Amino acid sequence: MVTNVNLLFYLKKRNSKVTGPIAIYLRFTVDGKRTEVSTGKTCPAEKWDARNGRIYGNTEAARTTNSQLDRIHARAEELYKLMSLNNEVLTAETLKNRFLGKAEKARTLIEVFNDHNEKMESLLGKEYERSTLTRYKTCLSHVKDFMKYRYHISDIPVSRISYTFLEDFDYYLRSVRKNGNNCTIKYLKNLGKVIRICLGNGWLAVDPYINYKPKAKQVDRQVVTLAELDRLKAKEFTIERLAAVRDVFVFCCYTGLAYADVFKLKRDELVEGVDGGLWIFTHRKKTDSLSRIPVLPAALEIITKYCDDIRCQIANSLLPVMSNQKMNAYLKEIAILCQIEKPLTFHIARHTFATTVTLNNGVPIESVSKMLGHTSIKTTQLYAKVMDQKIGLDMQRLESKLSR
């Protein structure tokens, strides 16, 4: 909401060497930001009343110029009041443009959203991943469908986006699209980035997200227990594809690597660490942050197994990693064969490393965060699921201390 609009006439002398009458300018100041425009009038410096923004004296010329300045001021004042009543974006620049008669093209939400997605697409592989672009394209599709469903329109000026618009979109995603709470919040977050672009460019005066504060629900993340992990490692597979998928999955259970990171993992990323042992030094594909992971014996055993694998040698890869779709499909078969009664997906390996392998064995969360390549420890805390087994052991130790 605009808190301050000020109009001021002043003399603008362009060159100190120039003598004679000086040009009179009108300065527009809106919320501390200002711009100016020439009135086409002049005044000698010694006859200018800077306090009142008018010309001293009662001569015919002074009265005429002051009267013209009064009309200019009244017109500018009327324009900003009109813009306020119409809920238009009111900035120093938009007020000046309206004063000069420049009709500024109204920005629309779909136009800005499309422009954002096109720029994101041009930066694929540099700043963004394909999956991120897909999420924004899906969000844009939902916004289009929502406006047709709720308002019977195909687009909307960004200046008309309000808290009510967000509330209606939120309700539409939950009721019509049947999206869950966290999925709905993600789409509103994607839309929020486009709204921030509008705010930054001055196309939207009030942030509609100020009072929109939804809460994400805690997701119960599945992990593989120590007993299940032992069954996976001990199982003998006669089918080569299942054995390879199991090995890559177990490897990630002991390294915390996500699918995209183990897929691109090269042999030269296996280096000697500060302790003289083998470490994995790699950059996460998702965030480009560096992960430094000491190689545990179980992971080293798998690396050694595929050291002479012809597929790995040709690709210079550490392990034979298939497509994510195939990996997840084969993990369903592996779960049945290993009597694991939970839907195994590849990302469960990352959760397993964070909980079963590290946090539940006393590894500090700061170290786990570094190995996972998280940029914030808050992200790691989402993985910090303390299992019943760990709670039981901790309470046994407490009981022992209390009995003594």
CB 132, CB 178: distance < 8 Å: no
User: Residue ranges of the domains in the chain?
Assistant: 5-99, 109-200, 226-395
DSSP class per residue in 312-369: HHHHTBSS----HHHHHHHHHHHHHHTT--S---TTHHHHHIIIIIIGGGT--HHHHH
Per-residue burial over 50-88, b = 16 or more CB atoms within 10 Å of its CB, e = otherwise: eeebbbeeeeeebeebbeebeebbeebeebbeebeeeeb
pLDDT digits (tens, 9 = 90+) for 344-360: 999 999 999 988 899 88
**pLDDT value of position 259:** 92
> Which residue's entry shows tokens 């298939």?
322
**Fold type of domain 109-200:** DNA polymerase; domain 1 (1.10.150)
Rg (the chain; Cα; Å): 33
pLDDT digits (tens, 9 = 90+) for 43-70: 998 999 999 999 998 899 999 999 999 9
The architecture (CATH level 2) of 226-395 comes to Orthogonal Bundle (1.10)
Each of the 404 residues of the chain gets a pLDDT tens digit; together they read 556 889 999 998 777 666 788 999 999 999 888 999 999 999 998 999 999 999 998 899 999 999 999 999 999 998 888 877 766 778 888 888 888 887 666 789 999 999 999 999 999 878 888 889 999 999 999 999 999 999 999 999 898 899 999 999 999 999 999 999 999 999 999 999 999 999 988 888 889 999 888 877 766 678 899 999 999 999 999 999 999 999 999 999 999 999 999 999 999 999 998 888 999 999 888 777 888 999 999 999 999 999 999 989 998 999 999 999 999 999 999 999 999 998 899 999 999 998 889 988 888 888 988 898 888 888 787 766 555 666 677 788 888 888 87
